[in-house]
Amino acid sequence: MRVAVTGTPGTGKTTATETLDYAVVHLNDVIREEGLHDGEDPDRASLYADFEALEEWLAANASADDETVVVESHLAHHFDADRVVVLRCHPESLESRLRERGETEEKARENDASTKSPQALTRYARENAEAEALDVILGEAVQRHGLESVYEIDTTDRTPEAVAEELRAVLADEREPSAGDVDFTGYL
Ligand SMILES: Nc1ncnc2c1ncn2[C@@H]1O[C@H](COP(=O)(O)OP(=O)(O)O)[C@@H](O)[C@H]1O
């Protein structure tokens, strides 16, 4: 079984999947390490993913006929999956998480070309908060996979361990699909 864990950047996908006892593919690392992209967006310090190459890579490395494999990325819902988990976070909290993460990365890397400038970080955090308020990824996930395959988890006031527990419940088939329970439109 292949389980996609998706959600707007900052919703906590990487953090929550790190503690799972399943094979986890961090797709954004694969894109960078395997060079499965068509270059960089210079304004955003992010890569243009090559979807066809990723599809092939996943077929070869995450086919999951017998075992369960988790594919984690804000792009994970664009590929085949048996279940799709969409992590959510209130846009205001999301904006703070992304700013803090960006500032920590900046301190760690100093002048690395892949670090966002303060202006780019502000814009990145705001754009993602707006996308989260508009349910962009949830909408894409439901459109591609159908309501019966989508599981929404609100991470806003949950610890990473509590989010991982919810993920385990989905993986163990102990949760019903759910979509549209959270409503962040008040942010807009
Ligand atoms: N449940 C949570 N509550 C509060 N902060 C979190 C939670 N999960 C992750 N974070 C923090 O938010 C930031 C984004 O998390 P990360 O796992 O990198 O998100 P994603 O992989 O979805 O982009 C990180 O700095 C992380 O430490």
Alpha helices in 26-184 (DSSP H): 27-33, 51-61, 91-109, 118-133, 136-145, 160-171
- What is the pLDDT at residue 106? 82
Single out the residue of 103, 180, 94, 99 nearest to residue 131, CA to CA.
94
Rounded Cα distance between 22 and 3, Å, is 10
- What is the pLDDT at residue 148? 98
Query: Is 127 within a domain?
Result: no
Query: Is 7 within a domain?
Result: yes
Q: Tokens representing 78? A: 């664009």
Q: Is the CB of 10 under 6 A from ligand 1?
A: yes
Query: Is 114 within a domain?
Result: no
Residue 38 has pLDDT above 90, yes or no: yes
Given the CA of residue 159, which atom of ligand 1 is nearest to it? 1
CA 73 → CA 79, 87, 102, 141, 183, distances in Å? 11, 11, 17, 13, 22
Query: Is 96 within a domain?
Result: no
Query: Is 55 within a domain?
Result: yes
Query: Is 125 within a domain?
Result: no
ipTM of predicted complex: 0.99
Query: How does pLDDT run across 93-111, given as a tens digit for each residue?
Result: 999 999 999 999 888 876 5
- What is the pLDDT at residue 42? 79
Q: Is the CB of 14 under 6 A from ligand 1?
A: yes
- Report field, pTM of the whole predicted structure over 0.90: yes
Domain span at residue 51 reads 2-89+135-187
**Can you tell me the mean pLDDT for 49-56?**
96
> Residue with structure tokens 């999947």?
17
* For ligand 1, atom 5: residue with the closest CA: 97
Query: Is 113 within a domain?
Result: no
86 within 8 A of 153, measured Cβ to Cβ:
yes
What CATH number is associated with residue 166? 3.40.50.300
Domain count, the chain: 1
